[in-house]
Amino acid sequence: MIELGKVQELEILRIKEFGVYVGEKDGGEESVLLPKKQVPQGASVGDKLTVFIYKDSSDRLIATIGTPKLQVGETAMLDVKDVSRIGAFLDMGLEKDLLLPFKEQTHPVKKGERCLVTLYVDKSSRLAATMRVYTHMSNQSPYKAEDWVTGTIYEINDSIGAFVAVDHKYYGLIPKRELYGKFKEGDTVQARVTRVREDGKLDLCLRERAHVQMGTDAELVLKVLDEFDGILPFNDRAAPEAILREFKMSKNAFKRAVGRLLKEGKIRITDKTIEKI
């Protein structure tokens, strides 16, 4: 069976002046054209070729020996090449660009942007992309608690947190309480697995465990102190919002870092400031 949007091995059934027709030897009359410029030199009837099946501008099935950046059901980061009145066109590694319809965009994309999408077959039996990737994620990841992973943020919910596609294919969530700093859809993050849920989904954190992270946070506090000429205009009783703005960390993490620096004799705390010694 010839599958749209899939890489598959097919046999050369017929040779024509304009290319060869490929299909399965026992697949009856079903075959697809591989244009002449794509045919390997010296190819003959019976040879097997690895091809990707898509549709040309006339909506006909066509084969290519080119390697697509994703297949149906797969998710990948693709570049936006152009935006038209019907949607955006993405570079999927082939001569023909991939349509990302407006209704499948989670935010209006712009030319030059990179976005995380899944390839699917639409109701008109055409290949299309969607940014609504949640239902295409898997809960069968190989990761366990304390592993570090790489993922792409594909949705941010102000009440829940940031949804992350780990390795572009596994469910991940950075809970709101762990989301310090400014992030947007499409950002790539390095995160620590804090828990593998019973359903296989991953809870993530952008920071090390507290006792490990403390050293890094302390160095950051010293760096910011230098930017303020050695005197920070607030102390460890500052509002969480001020700490988040200047340090991208929670108040508890800030207090741990300040406590460490105080113990090491690198700072002193006054009623209104933190000063570098």
pLDDT score of 34? 96
In the chain, % of residues over pLDDT 70: 97
B/e letters for 172-190, b = 16+ CB within 10 Å, e = fewer, are bbbeeebbbeebebbeebe
Kindly state whether residues 141 and 199 are assigned to the same domain.
yes
Question: Of 174, 205, 236, which residue is a domain's last?
Answer: 205
Kindly state whether residues 169 and 186 are assigned to the same domain.
yes
Question: 70 lies in a domain?
Answer: no
pLDDT score of 208? 65
Kindly state whether residues 23 and 54 are assigned to the same domain.
yes
Question: 34 lies in a domain?
Answer: yes
Is residue 225 within 8 A of residue 267, CB to CB? The reply is yes
Give CA–CA dist 6/43, Å, rounded.
22
CA-closest candidate to residue 19, choices 40, 1, 3: 40
Question: 58 lies in a domain?
Answer: yes
CB atoms within 10 A of CB 74: 17
Kindly state whether residues 34 and 85 are assigned to the same domain.
no
Give CA–CA dist 33/14, Å, rounded.
9
Question: 2 lies in a domain?
Answer: no
pLDDT digits (tens, 9 = 90+) for 206-252: 876 655 667 777 888 888 888 888 888 888 888 888 887 888 777 87
Q: Count the domains in the chain.
A: 4
Question: Of 188, 205, 222, which residue is a domain's last?
Answer: 205
Low-confidence ranges of the chain (pLDDT < 70): 27-29, 208-213
Kindly state whether residues 229 and 195 are assigned to the same domain.
no
CATH number of the CATH domain containing 151: 2.40.50.140
Question: 1 lies in a domain?
Answer: no
Is residue 66 within 8 A of residue 56, CB to CB? The reply is no
CATH number of the CATH domain containing 255: 1.10.10.10
The side-by-side arrangement of strands in the sheet containing 127-130 is 98-101, 87-91, 75-83, 114-121, 127-130
pLDDT score of 213? 64
Phi-psi region for residue 19, left (φ > 0), alpha (ψ -120 to 50) or beta?
left
pLDDT score of 206? 86
Question: 260 lies in a domain?
Answer: yes
Question: Of 117, 134, 151, which residue is a domain's last?
Answer: 134
Question: 162 lies in a domain?
Answer: yes
Kindly state whether residues 119 and 141 are assigned to the same domain.
no
State which residues form the domain around 229.
Answer: 210-276
pLDDT score of 28? 64
pTM of the model: 0.73
